[in-house]
Chains A and B, each alone.
Chain A
Amino acid sequence: MAAQQNHRAGGSIIDSLGEEIVRIVTPVSICMFLVVILVAVLNSGSSSSPPTINTIATIAYSETTSDSTWDKLKGALLNALVFVVVVTAVTFLLVLLFYFRCTHFLKLYMGFSSFIVLLFLGGEIALFLIRKFSVPIDCFTFLVLLFNFAAVGVFAVFLSKMAIIVTQGYLVAIGMLVAYWFTLLPEWTTWVLLVALALYDLAAVLLPVGPLRLLVELAISRDEDIPALVYEARPVINHDQGSREYEGQRRAWRRRRESGNDSESDHNIVTSDAEVTAPLIQNRVSSAADGQESSVASTDNSFLEGIGLGSSGAIKLGLGDFIFYSVLVGRAAMYDFMTVYACYLAIIAGLGVTLMLLALYQQALPALPVSIAFGVLFYFLTRLLLEEFVVQCSLNLVMF
Chain B
Amino acid sequence: MEASQSSSNPSSSAATPAPNPNRNSNSILSSAPVWPTIDGPLGLTEEESLSYARRFYGFGYALLPWLWAVNCFYFWPVLRHSRSFPVIRPYVMKSAVGFSVFTSLLCSWALTFAIGGEQLFGPVWDKLVMYNLADRLGLTGWI
A→B interface (CB under 8 Å): 1, 4, 51, 53, 121, 123-124, 127-128, 130-131, 134-142, 144, 147-149, 151-152, 155, 159, 161-164, 166, 181, 184, 234-235, 237, 239, 243, 246-247, 249-250, 253, 279, 284, 286
Contact = CB atoms under 8 A, between A and B. Distances in A.
Given A138-B130, A141-B110, A161-B44, A151 B74 contact: no
Interface of B is mostly: helix
8 contacts: A138-B113, A144-B63, A161-B48, A163-B37, A163-B70, A163-B74, A164-B42, A249-B41
A161 B135 CA distance: 40
A184 B143 contact: yes
A130 B39 contact: no
Contact of B130 (A1, A135, A149, A155): A135
Contacts of A1: 7, 10-11
Nearest to A4: B7
A169 to B, nearest CB: 10
Given A1-B11, A134-B131, A127 B140 contact: yes
Interface residues of B, number: 42
Interface centre among B37, B65, B129 (most CB of A within 10 A): B129
Interface of A is mostly: helix
B73 interface: yes
Contact of A284 (B59, B131, B133, B142): B142
Contact of A138 (B11, B74, B110, B140): B110
7 tightest Cβ-Cβ pairs between the two chains A and B? A246-B41, A148-B66, A243-B1, A163-B74, A136-B114, A250-B42, A138-B128
A124 B113 contact: no
A212 to B, nearest CB: 28
A162 B42 CA distance: 11
Interface in B103-143: 106, 109-110, 113-114, 117, 128-131, 133-135, 139-140, 142-143
Contacts of B93: none
Contacts of B85: none
Contact of A130 (B1, B65, B134): B134
B90 interface: no
A135 B41 CA distance: 43
B70 A141 contact: no
A149 B4 CA distance: 38
B50 interface: no
B112 to A, nearest CB: 10
A138 B41 CA distance: 43
A136 B42 contact: no
